[in-house]
């Protein structure tokens, strides 16, 4: 794990962080780099989120969404523009990968425009499905839009056009 820059800590998100998380994500969702979500969706997923604080102020966020026995997705990884370039995104990603290992997850998926960033962290571009047909058949039953993106379902194509599908084995 990389050493945190002075004044930076990564911790589990709290309900009081949701407004700030939404503000950090908003510019990315306005430009369709990240999918826009309602506030209730963030509260429902609170336990999946970690935040990064710089001198006590939340400046970054990221989530780990378990999709299957051995598979999870890195979601909503974002850093406030004023805090970019300090390694905060990397610290968040490393914390989420540690969480995945602790949960027994062996593979991490992401859907991203930040191919270089994820490549530096061991992710590789994938084509096609990353799961067996039986697992695909189970996952297709999910109501979660992120799972639909992972499965590359036609109904989410407008949200993912141009994104790159990446996978990392832990």
d(CA 155, CA 142): 13
User: What pLDDT is stored for residue 123 in this prediction?
Assistant: 96
Burial class (CB in 10 A: 0-12, 13-18, 19+), 39: exposed
Label residue 15 by pLDDT band (50, 70, 90): very high
**Whole-model pTM?**
0.84
Name the strands in the sheet holding 124-125, side by side, starting at the edge strand that comes first in the sequence.
8-12, 49-54, 57-68, 71-79, 107-112, 164-169, 124-125
pLDDT digit string (tens) for 54-104?
999 999 999 999 988 888 999 999 999 999 999 999 999 999 999 999 999
pLDDT digit string (tens) for 96-154?
999 999 999 999 989 888 999 999 999 999 886 665 656 556 655 655 666 556 656 55
What is the CATH T-level fold of the domain 8-169, as seen in this structure? Aminopeptidase (3.40.630)
User: What pLDDT is stored for residue 17 in this prediction?
Assistant: 98
Q: What is the arithmetic mean of pLDDT over 39-45?
A: 94
Q: What is the arithmetic mean of pLDDT over 21-41?
A: 90
User: What pLDDT is stored for residue 158 in this prediction?
Assistant: 47
Label residue 169 by pLDDT band (50, 70, 90): very high
d(CA 52, CA 75): 15
pLDDT higher for 47 or 33? 47
d(CA 14, CA 47): 8
State phi, psi for 168 to the nearest 5 degrees. Answer: -135, 135
pLDDT higher for 97 or 5? 97
């Amino acid at each position: 794990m990389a050493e945190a820059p002075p004044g930076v800590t990564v911790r589990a998100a709290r309900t009081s962080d949701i407004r700030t998380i939404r503000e950090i994500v908003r510019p990315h969702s306005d430009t369709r780099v990240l999918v826009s979500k309602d506030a209730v969706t963030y509260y429902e997923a609170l336990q999946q989120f970690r935040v990064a604080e710089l001198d006590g102020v939340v400046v970054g966020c990221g989530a780990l969404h378990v999709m299957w026995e051995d598979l999870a997705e890195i979601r909503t990884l974002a850093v406030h523009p004023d805090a970019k370039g300090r390694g905060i995104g990397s610290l968040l990603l490393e914390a989420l990968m540690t969480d995945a290992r602790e949960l027994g997850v062996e593979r991490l998926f992401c859907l991203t425009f930040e191919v270089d960033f994820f490549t530096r962290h061991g992710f590789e571009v994938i084509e096609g499905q990353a799961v067996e047909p039986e697992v695909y058949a189970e996952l297709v039953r999910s109501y979660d839009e992120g799972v639909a993106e992972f499965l590359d379902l036609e109904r989410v194509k407008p949200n993912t056009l141009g994104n790159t599908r990446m996978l990392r084995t832990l």
